[in-house]
Chain A
């Protein structure tokens, strides 16, 4: 009976690819952690755990900030567009377009410069506040995808009859937009976009932390920043672990050593790549399951 139930739930899971890949990701992470528990030394494992948690916290914070920014600015643009004088609408659109044309890396580097400045002046010394600050900066360069989606969803629903019917019934336009259109009818679309944003956030955070391993100021040490997967990968021992992959590519006999002796760097690389792959699969599965 239990076996049959397990089998049926497995079949259901197989057809719901987003949930399947979420389970695969969780399983993969647990398996990797167990492996590291056996073969990786304790201090390195502690660093890895902290970096993993910080990176995930950073990614989730980016998602939160992007949601707040995307929703509020998307709705504001809609109402400003309808206002009699469209000066504010044009100004906001113009600024958003300027920001959109700045490559993400440039925006984030600028954010890190500010972070360095704040650390120098002992304003942002708490590691959690540093993570939140950087998450906010990353969200500033990725949130526009959500603004586009919010505007697209409002435009789409505005063409439908229910919008005008509700207006005729005396329901406030802000309520129709925020509750009826965005909350009740666009939640899944926004969730899909937020999943993609999470993937981009993890990628950007790891990349930027890796490349600033040389530092962004001669006055502030990188050790003042909270550890993330990118910064941990930038350390010399992790880099040597990654370099060891090259040895395996030329001599397959070293494959065994790779997963025992070079665990720190390999684990970080696996976490980053596997997480990005799973986010992509979850996002695609989500679209398929909900017919978005």
Chain B
């Protein structure tokens, strides 16, 4: 465990040093670039009698430059363009528009970023908890269905059609029900695999998509996160169910019934509840061992979840969110702010990795009967 903590600390240190170095370099470069840039155009901006917004004045200015510097048309063009770009920046740069503080990583901006960062972490923790439990519930549900030897709804429809042809009247009621179930299942799959922005834009005209609640819902159900991690957990359950101890547990008279409800079966509540318990059922052991193997997957889950959340924030263009801020700062080339955000995001992933490692260590201690 010590080795892991040291490795994580070294990684954090390494990344902070690298990005710190980049930060200093970029700030130094930006400052010198800004000084050189302003020094070049400053004398012309001070000429009060020229209105650079007027096309006539701009054209006259260009012609005057061509007269004064006749053999340097490239330089003159660049100068005019630089002045226009400077003027344009005053309209497009959010710092100028909102009367905000200076460009770059100022204390005020840092405090704003800090607030956004805390909000981001709060959403991340909630979505992580929900997807971790949701993935388990979905996987267990699928596992139980597999143990019940359930075929797909469409196959059941075909079988019922055969029964109907042979005169079974009950099939007439079952077929529409099965078809509705198949449609609902298909729609659920579509939602689970849909990228967040597709779902968000589908609902944008009907509900307020800029709320935290909607963001959490999107984070949980969209981008294929839930379904893919449910699939991973299901794989672990499946591989555990083939191991020898399951047969031993069965011999020791633990329940092996996978029917819903009942005294010996599996209840829906047990599948959905976070602290899942399946007392006197063989599945309890399959689940506990499957969960132990699933723990390391939480690290990549964290990384993918953060990717999903940033995509949601960027795609929905919600002002005041970390993802939106990241994109805006990339657009306006405020790379020091970008670096600060990236380091913050990296630290969230690292913190999750450390938590997962400690959790796994404790679980392994339990397995080795050291606690």
Contact = CB atoms under 8 A, between A and B. Distances in A.
Interface of A: 94, 97-98, 100-106, 109, 113, 145, 199, 203-204, 206-208, 210-212, 214-218, 233, 239, 242-243, 245-247, 249-250, 269, 272-273, 276-277, 280, 284, 287
Interface of chain B, helix or strand or loop or mixed?
A: helix
B333 interface: yes
Contact of B228 (A105, A208, A246, A280): A280
A246 B202 contact: yes
A18 to B, nearest CB: 14
Contact of B198 (A94, A249, A272): A272
Contacts of B300: 100, 145
Contacts of B205: 243, 246-247
Interface stretch (B31-39, B94-102, B341-349): B341-349
B193 A277 contact: yes
B331 A214 contact: yes
Contact of A245 (B92, B202, B303, B315): B202
Given A206-B195, A211-B314, 16 more contacts: A97-B7, A100-B299, A101-B11, A103-B306, A109-B326, A199-B224, A204-B307, A207-B315, A211-B311, A217-B331, A239-B201, A246-B206, A249-B202, A273-B198, A276-B224, A277-B193
A250 to B, nearest CB: 6
Contacts of B326: 109
Given A210-B315, A277-B190, A105 B307 contact: yes
Given A102-B349, A273-B194, A243 B204 contact: yes
Contacts of A246: 202-206
* Residue with the highest number of chain B CB atoms closer than 10 Å, among A97, A103, A215, A272: A103
Contact of A103 (B190, B333, B349): B349
Given A102-B349, A203-B223, A280 B231 contact: yes
B330 A106 contact: no
A211 B307 CA distance: 12
A94 B14 CA distance: 10
Contacts of B349: 101-103
Contacts of A208: 311
A246 B209 CA distance: 12
B327 interface: yes
Contacts of A250: 206
17 contacts: A94-B10, A97-B11, A100-B303, A101-B303, A101-B346, A106-B342, A204-B307, A207-B311, A210-B197, A211-B314, A216-B331, A217-B331, A218-B92, A245-B201, A246-B204, A273-B194, A277-B193
Contacts of B331: 214-218
Contacts of A145: 300
Nearest to B306: A103
A104 B11 contact: no
B345 A269 contact: no
Contacts of B193: 273, 276-277, 280
A243 to B, nearest CB: 5
Contacts, number: 121
B304 interface: yes
B214 interface: no
B317 to A, nearest CB: 8
Nearest to A109: B330
B15 interface: yes
Nearest to B224: A276
Nearest to B197: A210
B202 A242 contact: yes
Interface in B332-368: 332-333, 342, 345-346, 349-350, 353
A174 B228 CA distance: 35
Contacts of B202: 242-243, 245-246, 249
Contacts of B11: 94, 97-98, 101
A233 B200 CA distance: 13
Interface of chain A, helix or strand or loop or mixed?
A: helix
A104 B304 contact: yes
B139 interface: no
B189 interface: yes
B195 A272 contact: yes
A205 to B, nearest CB: 11
B224 to A, nearest CB: 6
A103 B310 contact: yes
Contacts of B92: 218
Contact of B345 (A94, A106, A211, A215): A106
Contacts of A243: 201-202, 204-205
Contacts of A233: 197-198
Cβ-closest 4 pairs across A and B: A245-B202, A246-B205, A211-B314, A242-B201
Contacts of A203: 195, 223-224
B194 A269 contact: yes
Contact of B330 (A94, A216, A247, A272): A216
Contacts of A207: 195, 197, 223, 311, 315
Nearest to B316: A211
Contacts of A212: 327
A211 B324 CA distance: 10
B227 interface: yes
A291 B186 CA distance: 26
Nearest to A145: B300
B153 to A, nearest CB: 15
A273 B203 CA distance: 17
Interface string B113-146: 0000000000000000000000000000000000
A118 to B, nearest CB: 16
A97 B8 CA distance: 9
Interface in B289-316: 299-300, 303-304, 306-307, 310-311, 314-315
A245 B200 CA distance: 11
Contact of B7 (A94, A214, A215, A277): A94
Contacts of B304: 103-104
Contacts of A98: 11, 14-15
Given A242-B198, A273-B190, A105 B231 contact: no
